[in-house]
Amino acid sequence: MNRDDRIAIEWECTRLINLYALLTDEARWDEIVALYAEDGLMTRPTAPDDPIVGHDALYAAFTARPPRISRHVCANIVVTAENADEASAQSLILLFTGSAAEDGGLPVPDAAPLVGTYSDRFRLTDKGWRFTERRGELSFRKM
């Protein structure tokens, strides 16, 4: 793999991580599920020992959650291109959640922000780069 190939893989996978956060905040569940390989696995940072596997299970898990206002901030994303078809990444996540304000203004926070990490694995598919694993863990206890 040459330098340009490595940089392209790193960029594509970093884009997936950031796109995932944006789509989550907009509750665009179909599009999020499409970012996974068919047999993709996810664990939420709040439930790292409870894997969710496959498109149908992922969609069911996302849509079962009550609606909320959220903002995910991704940071310190480091992608490693392992070969032309596989990559891995580590990143930090900061999650803010809130409820709609009665006066119609900015949302009201409903909890302290959560800080966690994601360990990701990616595979190049016929649809482009996709998550094969997205394993989350919290870095600090909930308040």
Helices (H), the chain: 3-25, 29-33, 55-64
- Per the structure, how many domains does the chain have? 1
Exposed, middle or buried: residue 58 (CB in 10 Å: 0-12, 13-18, 19+)?
Answer: buried
The mean per-residue pLDDT over the stretch 8-30 comes to 98
pLDDT at residue 23 above 70? yes
pLDDT at residue 44 above 90? yes
| Predicted structure pTM score | 0.94
65 token code pair: 């959650």
Q: Model confidence over 107-128: pLDDT tens digits?
A: 989 889 999 999 999 999 999 9
Q: For residues 92 and 101, give the distance between their C-alpha atoms in angstroms, rounded to a whole number.
A: 28
Q: What is the CATH number of the domain that holds 33?
A: 3.10.450.50
Structural domain including 85 reads 3-138
The answer to the question of residue 143 being in a domain is: no
- If phi > 0 it is left, if psi is from -120 to 50 it is alpha, else beta; for residue 128 that is left
The answer to the question of residue 80 being in a domain is: yes
